[in-house]
Structure 1
C-alpha cells in the first residue's frame, strides 16, 4: 500500500541526531471480513556522540528510541570503541532484555564489513539461537567529491 515517511538527520564532526516517522499512514488490511491495522506509525529518535580518548581510541555512546504507543516501545543503548580508525567493537542493550555484541572493520577506503549478534537475557535465552546479522557498507561518490571525510555515523 502507498505510504509516506518523513525524517531529519543532523550530523556534525562529533555527534548526530535524527528523528523519523517512516510510515505516516496506518495501513489497514481486510482479511476475510475483519479489518485490522497492519502497519502502524512508528517514531524513531536516535543520537550519538564520538569522544576522542587516548591515542588511537575513540568512544561512541548512542541511543535509539522507537515509540508506537505507551505499550509498544523499544530503547537501545549502545557503546562502541573505534581502534586505529579501522575496527569498531561494541555492545548494546535493548529494553534491558536483550544484549548484543557487534564488530565492524574498514577494508580499504570505501568498504566496511560487520557482524552483530543479539541474545535474549531473560527466560527465553535458553530456547533460541539469538539473532545474527552481517553488514556490508560501501561509500560511493556518484557525483564527484563531496568531502565525506571521516564518517563515524
Structure 2
C-alpha cells in the first residue's frame, strides 16, 4: 500500500513559472519538486489549486504518481490573494466533490501558505487525517525586514 497525500495551494499553482505572476516564486518550485520526488518514491500526490484559466485542463499529470487538480473557487481568472478567503468554502466543497467522485482517500494533508492551511484544517477534521502546513514566508516578518 502506498501513501497518498493531498497538497493544497489555494493562491498559486506549482505549474506557474516563477516571475511570470506576482505570486509565483520559490514556493511553486518547492511544491513541484517535493511532489515529484515523492511521486518517484511511489507516493501518490494530488495537488489542489484554484482554477484560474478556463483553457487549463482540470487535471494535469505533473510527473509519475503526481497530479495537479484545478478547483473552481470564484471566477476562472487570477484574483489577488487577499480576495481569496471569501472563496474558501467553495474551494473546500469542490475538493470534497472531486475526491468523492474519484473515490480518493488521503493519508495526510499538506498545505502551503495560510489560506491553504485554513482549508486543509477543515478537510483534515472531516476526513480524520493529519494536516501539516508550511507557511514559506510570513508577511509581517517580510514587512519588518523590508520597511
TM-score class, shorter? 0.3 to 0.5
Output the TM-score relative to the length of structure 2. 0.33
Higher relative helix content: 2
Higher Cα Rg: structure 1 or 2?
A: 1
Identify which of structures 1 and 2 has the higher relative contact order when contacts are C-alpha pairs closer than 8 Å and 6+ apart.
2
Output the TM-score relative to the length of structure 1. 0.32
Higher relative strand content: 1
